[in-house]
Structure 1
Amino acid sequence: MRGKVVMADAEAPLHAGQEQAAIRCREVCRSYGKFKVLNNLNLTVPQGQIYGLLGPSGCGKTTLLKCIVGTLKISRVPGKMVGYMPQDLALYSEFTICDTLTFFGRLHGLTRKETQARMAFLIDFLDLPQKNSLVRNLSGGQKRRVSLGAALLQNPELLILDEPTVGVDPVLRTKIWQHLVEIVKTGKVSVIITTHYIEEARQVNVVGLMRSGHLLAEGPPDQVIKVHGSATLESAFLKLCQSSDRTIPKESPSPLDGELEKSQSFESNRDENRPILGVNVPPEDIPKFTADWKVRAKHVLPKWRNIAALTIKTLVRFKRTPGSLCFQFLLPVIQISLICLCIGGDPQGIQIAVVNNETSPSAYSHSLLSFLDNSSVQQVKLSHAEAFEGIYNGEYWGVVAFSQNFTSYLTKRVLQRHVSREVVDGGSMHIWLDYTSNSFAFTESKLGSLSYQVALPVYFEEPIYGSQNTDFTTFVTPGAVLSITFYLAVGLTALSFVLERKEGLLDRCWVAGVSSLETMLAHLFSQLFVISIQIFLLLIFVLHVFKMPNEGSLALIIILIVLQGVTGISFGLVISSAIDDEQSANQAALGIFYPNLMISGIIWPVECIPYPLRYLSLALPQTFAAESLRCIMYRGWGLSRMLVWRGFATTLGWNTFFLVMATVILKLRT
């Protein structure tokens, strides 16, 4: 459950030493539902020093770091200035070590030469395997070292490390601490590090002791030990915990008092002589940041460097999963093949019971039965009782019966003007059908053509568009192509942000300076590659393998299908940005498939839909697009026709709406 964050101004004035603070937090609160994780926490990280957050698991250390990281203003603290290592690994398992560091190097704006130099140093310093080793094949400790290397890559001015030495051997742990101590000596680098190892906390410049969302004490380790009259930091921590149990009332799981404000945030400044970050200090003490419109525009407009890095990242992941990629390419071909082969064709092997009471080989009944297509209708000759018993038991779809005097009665009907009712009945072929299946319609048309039918004074001329032999498959195929393209694109992207958010990858990209719009555009460009291949294969099978007619412009067909695919990507991004777990995202993507298929005019004409639902149908992304594609393919129309251009217009409108909606949702949630 999402928590709420309050960062309220402290009433007491700031200490003089806080003017050189790297991070300054005042009365920070965060809750998950009814449970308070951080409760009125105050924290100050001096600039150019190592600040250690010490506390047991679950005390709120990681939550506090996420609060700090989540409120960095990209326009004021560029991603290159901040190095962040989350508690989760937050690594792409399909990447090699080289791919991982190269990706973050691109995001931070490092040149190829700079990235290679830092990569060589970090691989040696962190004792990593060969740079071409896949992350998924590394041990847990090696993965954490790669994650630490990604945080150290760009030599940031602010390092935020969440338990970086977990699972690391003592020798390498000592080496890492020596490096951290060395880089803060310049006074330009500040480090905030969390740990639950008390012996590690003795090496920091300032230690903050946390328990149950409260900061119990803050200061140099030796000073904390001395003030509390203890011999070790561990005993001092124990005394503080015992004291807090007596003085701090335990929070009951009750709703937060009042509405938690959301407007306050961490502020920052790039001036080295001022705090990098400050949290809700009194207005007169907050350093003012001013920038002209060029600087503001630089941070608002998307950076093609970040878009390129994210796009290459996705393409590399495709490359490392060739089986999944091939399946994505083959799936639309399989689907359109099943539609063209299994929908709209003539039924085969329909078993019909035949009761023929005429025994003469020259009887007319034998001649009539010979006209039936034996590949479609299988005749089973039975007695009257056996035939009806079979149809009642579901063994046959119908019964065809001829009377004993069928030939003579039929002759009388033809030669005589006036005949009795008995002659009419005896000279007719009697048919009983099982109307619970649509197979009866085909059977009725086949058998009905053999019976005597009065010709109507109506003659159907050659059709203006299409042909008299147009089948149901021809009607369904254009809409099916759009539907397949749309929903495969939804499936490609519906889990994108869900999985990356769950693994901590999105947070890491945000801290590196990536914006919501850049993330959207990168996903759009990378997934466009996949749907382009899918559309190419779809058209090959539709137009050349199954020989669907096409009287219009192939360029218009391709553009419309591509736009539908892009709209599907955009809708998938909406689902992915709004939903947190895979199951809900899958249900949302699958849940809209069947209703949209039914009422978009893909399977059955929109004109057959009742009016309350017809208005909803006309508002869906594929209704006008499917009609537009039929007009292009079967009528040869162009964009000058309203039925064609409105399909393009509605597709572009929905695409824009979904992209804006996904960007806004992702922005609000970050």
Structure 2
Amino acid sequence: MHLKMFSTKKYSRYLEDQFDRQYYGARLKLKKFDTDEFQSLHSKIYPPFIDSSQEAHLVSCVEVRDLSFHYNPFNPILKSITIDVPRGKIYALLGASGCGKTTLLRMILGTLKPMSGTIKVFNETPGTKESNVPGSGVGYMPQDLALFMSFTVKETLTFYGHLYGMPIDMINYRIDHLVDLLNLPKKNRLVSQLSGGQQRRVSLAVTMIHMPPLLILDEPTVGVDSLLRLRIWNYLEDICRDRGTTVIITTHYTEEARNSFRVGFIDSGVVLAEDNPQRLLYKYNCDSLEDVFLELCLEKAKSNNIEIENEEKKNSNQIDGQEINNTINCKPIKEKNQLKLQNQIIIEEDTDRDDLVNNGDIKSDPNNNNNNNTDRCQIDDDGDQYSKSKKLSIEKIDDLESKLKLKQQQFSSPISMGFRAANNHHYLNTRRITALLEKNFILFKRNPSSIILLNLIPVLQMTLFCITFNRNPENIPIAVVNDENRTHSLSNKLFIENIDSKALKIKPYSNVEDAIKSVQTLHTHSVLTFQANFSRNFRRRFLKPESVTDKVIESSKIGFYPDTTHAVFHLYIYQHILEAFERFIKAIGVSMGYNPKYFGSPVDLMEPIYGRMDLKYFEFVAPGMIIALVHGMSMLMGSFSVVSERHSGYLERGMVAGIKASEILLSHLIFFIVPVFTQVVLCLFLTFYIFGNHSVGSLWEIFFITFITSVQGLVFGLTLSVICPTELASLLAVFILEAPFIFTSGVLWPLSSLPESVQKACLWNPITLPIQSTHYIMFRGWTLANIQVLFGLGTCLAYISIVLSIGFITFEIFK
């Protein structure tokens, strides 16, 4: 490789030209060029080669000491990590996928707790009351988009601005500024309508909306064109210089990291090196950071290989050596489209540039000549340049360092923006709760089908229930066989006439065999038979009871062949036959001159104490079915809320913005109360006004207990959403819980049929006592002043408090 030596004067002319080309697109013909200007231009084009003694004076923003973390003790993710991020600088974190970069960032953000070691951000531990991280003190861009696809660009940025407590005027100003800076599309376009690169820019804008003093960017320039990538890096450098902002960035563009002040290489949870990029290039004599990373991996591989050999020698088991690349998985990150404008110097000995100097358009300082300046740079023929000789003298950058220290003192506070954010450690902040409610409203407004289904499903279920159970069976076919002579068949005809023709439909058959066959072929459900002398022998039992023989008694009976496979039909048919017989016997008595009351039942049925004699099964089941439906639907509604946000990445980003677990759960609870209220109103309206169910007590009290029970189901669903890892697991948990709730609540069958010990256990069912309370109000007319009714209401309130507390605690522990 052919190398060239050139003077500071020529190098400064080149830097000036490169600076002009990048930032203005044309050459600026400067009349004077001094040392300060040289340093300014040099820092724009190429990061300075900083001495380690100078870095010792920098103020730390993030300090990580001996940090370790693991999910499985046998497979640690981070192993004694130690890094130091200076304030007001860009720190690049490089490493292959799965090496622990994102885990390290999450612990810096305070969303993960380390197993050992310490982390200090602005001299405070993240997640403590004294720290503003997570919160408005940090801006975090995750590797995933974590954007609401149903939001517009403006709605997205406004939502996060409200979370950070920004005034609306400042939010609008920052939106306009970021739209121009990041070349975002129109503010009223939906995020779902944007391309992948545009969505990534919106995600970056969310991170910078509140001008935090610390930016943590996980792969921010992936999918972004090179020109916009350059603008982003220039903006990051500007805010670091002007506002003292600290930037921690992970990137796959290794050469892009050369623009950072310090770079850290991570592999398999271990920091391989942490230093200024130019010093690393100089130390390892490499052309690119990719080659530096490879050298670091090779060094680690050699070290590991030596350890293996030593271990083998101790065990006296000699084996063949293995290749270094098989010892460790070191995959240097490679990117074809590197930022050539910022990381490459090409010396063009063109006559135009020499003419500029000769003609006096550019006048260099006469003190800066080849004899007085020992600084040198080496250039290869391909144009790839890096510093391999002496670094710039400390005297030339002392002025810049003093200005930097002054700038750091000005921005020593964790909040470097024009407003002071509210305390992020209040467990309930009305500003953030309001923002979350607005977010939920926009999501449901953009998806109206979800609102319709939430209200329509319980209404349809209750409608089907009312239609199905509100009417008794009618026109049930039964077979009748009459063997009696037609001239003497007055009694059997009288019996048949007393059968309710609306309930039972008579089908005559000539013999028993054909009638039974009709039951077997599902044409009828039962068989009635009258023997040949039925009428004469039946009257004989009343006229001459002393002469009645067994044969007379047997021939005066009505044969009944039931089909008990259908229990409802069997009981219903048998009930109507008994009622028909009661009417028949009274009619026979009247025809024979007896008092009809003589043939009545000896049990005198009085007026019911509670309820009424014609109470239907539908009316008995209705209140319990309403509570079971709205409770289950509310549980299902809440079960997807938190888990879906966690799965999509919204939750993590919101928690970094300072949202508390209590605020998330409370915002969902408040928002879903509206559809829950609507469901309860519609179900009660259908039951009592459309289908004519009756209630002795107050409908308002029935509504109140039903509504509180529905809120209880919502709380159950929210807690399941916190506990379950996926939407499917949450859905299965709802069905697993709701089915036993219904079966053991007494909705379909009385609990008194169970053993006493099981009955007591069923009282712990969260809907058992509320159902009993609604029964008391509906059929007995009791009020909330009755202690038995209050038991149901108290059970609901107790479960709401206990389950919601479990949700809060679980969310805080496992967030």
Which bracket does the TM-score occupy, shorter chain normalised? 0.7 to 0.9
User: Is the contact made by 1:158 and 1:191 (CA closer than 8 Å) also made in structure 2?
Assistant: yes
Shift in alpha-carbon separation, 1:251–1:403, aligned structure 2, 3 A: farther
Match 1:323 to one of 425, 449, 456: 449
Aligned to 1:73: 127
1:265-304 map, 5 Å? 299-304=425-430
User: Is the contact made by 2:90 and 2:249 (CA closer than 8 Å) also made in structure 1?
Assistant: yes
Task: Give, in whole Å, the separation in 1 of the partners of 2:761 and 2:68.
Answer: 45
Task: Give, in whole Å, the separation in 1 of the partners of 2:77 and 2:57.
Answer: 25
Deviation larger for 135-144 or 358-367 = 358-367
Match status 1:348 vs 2:348: no
Task: Give, in whole Å, the separation in 2 of the partners of 1:572 and 1:196.
Answer: 41
Shift in alpha-carbon separation, 1:563–1:249, aligned structure 2, 3 A: farther
Match status 1:465 vs 2:610: yes
Q: Which amino acid aligns with 2:507?
A: V
User: Is the contact made by 1:37 and 1:60 (CA closer than 8 Å) also made in structure 2?
Assistant: yes
Match 1:199 to one of 236, 251, 255: 255
Match status 1:185 vs 2:244: no
User: Is the contact made by 2:58 and 2:87 (CA closer than 8 Å) also made in structure 1?
Assistant: no
Aligned to 2:3: none
Match status 1:174 vs 2:215: no
Shift in alpha-carbon separation, 1:669–1:86, aligned structure 2, 3 A: same
User: Is the contact made by 1:80 and 1:154 (CA closer than 8 Å) also made in structure 2?
Assistant: yes
Task: Give, in whole Å, the separation in 1 of the partners of 2:539 and 2:703.
Answer: 60
Shift in alpha-carbon separation, 1:373–1:202, aligned structure 2, 3 A: farther
Task: Give, in whole Å, the separation in 2 of the partners of 1:223 and 1:477.
Answer: 79
User: Is the contact made by 1:21 and 1:275 (CA closer than 8 Å) also made in structure 2?
Assistant: no
Match status 1:44 vs 2:84: yes
Structure with bigger gyration radius: 2
User: Is the contact made by 1:85 and 1:160 (CA closer than 8 Å) also made in structure 2?
Assistant: yes
Match 1:372 to one of 499, 510, 517: 499
Q: Secondary structure, in 3 states, of the residue corresponding to 1:459?
A: coil
Shift in alpha-carbon separation, 1:251–1:655, aligned structure 2, 3 A: farther
Q: Which amino acid aligns with 1:111?
A: P
Q: Secondary structure, in 3 states, of the residue corresponding to 2:76?
A: strand
After TM superposition, give the deviation of residue 151 of structure 1 in Å.
0.7
Shift in alpha-carbon separation, 1:95–1:373, aligned structure 2, 3 A: farther
Aligned to 1:410: 538
User: Is the contact made by 2:149 and 2:190 (CA closer than 8 Å) also made in structure 1?
Assistant: yes
Aligned to 1:426: 555
Deviations 1:136-174 (A, max 9, x none): 222222211111111111111111111011111222111
Q: Which amino acid aligns with 1:443?
A: I
What's the TM-score once normalised by structure 1's chain length?
A: 0.88
Aligned to 1:286: none
Task: Give, in whole Å, the separation in 1 of the partners of 2:763 and 2:756.
Answer: 11
After TM superposition, give the deviation of residue 271 of structure 1 in Å.
10
Structure 2 unaligned residues grouped into runs of 5+: 1-53, 113-125, 309-407, 416-420, 586-598
After TM superposition, give the deviation of residue 50 of structure 1 in Å.
0.8
1:48-197 map, 5 Å? 48-69=88-109, 70-71=111-112, 72-73=126-127, 75=129, 76-77=131-132, 79-186=135-242, 188-197=244-253
Match status 1:381 vs 2:381: no
Task: Give, in whole Å, the separation in 1 of the partners of 2:565 and 2:58.
Answer: 84
Task: Give, in whole Å, the separation in 2 of the partners of 1:30 and 1:148.
Answer: 28
Alignment size in residue pairs: 622
Aligned to 2:51: none
Deviations 1:247-291 (A, max 9, x none): 248999xxxxxxxxxxxxxxxxx99876969xxxxxxxxxxxxxx
Q: Which amino acid aligns with 1:650?
A: T
Q: Which amino acid aligns with 1:339?
A: F
Q: Which amino acid aligns with 2:776?
A: C
User: Is the contact made by 1:51 and 1:205 (CA closer than 8 Å) also made in structure 2?
Assistant: yes
Task: Give, in whole Å, the separation in 1 of the partners of 2:436 and 2:94.
Answer: 35
User: Is the contact made by 1:599 and 1:609 (CA closer than 8 Å) also made in structure 2?
Assistant: no
Q: Secondary structure, in 3 states, of the residue corresponding to 2:279?
A: helix
Task: Give, in whole Å, the separation in 1 of the partners of 2:65 and 2:523.
Answer: 80
Q: Which amino acid aligns with 1:120?
A: D
Q: Which amino acid aligns with 2:491?
A: Y
Percent identity among equivalent residues? 33
What RMSD in Å do the two structures reach over aligned CA positions? 2.6
After TM superposition, give the deviation of residue 451 of structure 1 in Å.
3.0
Deviations 1:613-662 (A, max 9, x none): 21221112111111111222222222221111111111110000011110
After TM superposition, give the deviation of residue 490 of structure 1 in Å.
0.7
User: Is the contact made by 1:560 and 1:629 (CA closer than 8 Å) also made in structure 2?
Assistant: yes
Aligned to 1:445: 575
Aligned to 1:488: 633
Deviations 1:59-99 (A, max 9, x none): 22222212222153163215112111111111112212122
User: Is the contact made by 2:78 and 2:100 (CA closer than 8 Å) also made in structure 1?
Assistant: yes
Shift in alpha-carbon separation, 1:422–1:655, aligned structure 2, 3 A: same
User: Is the contact made by 1:542 and 1:548 (CA closer than 8 Å) also made in structure 2?
Assistant: yes
Q: Secondary structure, in 3 states, of the residue corresponding to 1:209?
A: strand
Aligned to 2:723: 578
Match status 1:591 vs 2:736: yes
Task: Give, in whole Å, the separation in 2 of the partners of 1:95 and 1:351.
Answer: 61
User: Is the contact made by 1:47 and 1:275 (CA closer than 8 Å) also made in structure 2?
Assistant: no
Task: Give, in whole Å, the separation in 1 of the partners of 2:250 and 2:668.
Answer: 33
Deviation larger for 472-481 or 24-33 = 24-33
1:523-542 map, 5 Å? 523-542=668-687
Aligned to 1:309: 435
Shift in alpha-carbon separation, 1:649–1:250, aligned structure 2, 3 A: farther
Structure 1 unaligned residues grouped into runs of 5+: 1-14, 253-269, 278-294
Q: Secondary structure, in 3 states, of the residue corresponding to 1:451?
A: helix
Q: Secondary structure, in 3 states, of the residue corresponding to 1:436?
A: coil
Deviation larger for 478-487 or 376-385 = 376-385
User: Is the contact made by 1:38 and 1:212 (CA closer than 8 Å) also made in structure 2?
Assistant: yes
Task: Give, in whole Å, the separation in 2 of the partners of 1:18 and 1:578.
Answer: 47
Q: Which amino acid aligns with 1:399?
A: V
Aligned to 2:50: none
Aligned to 1:257: none
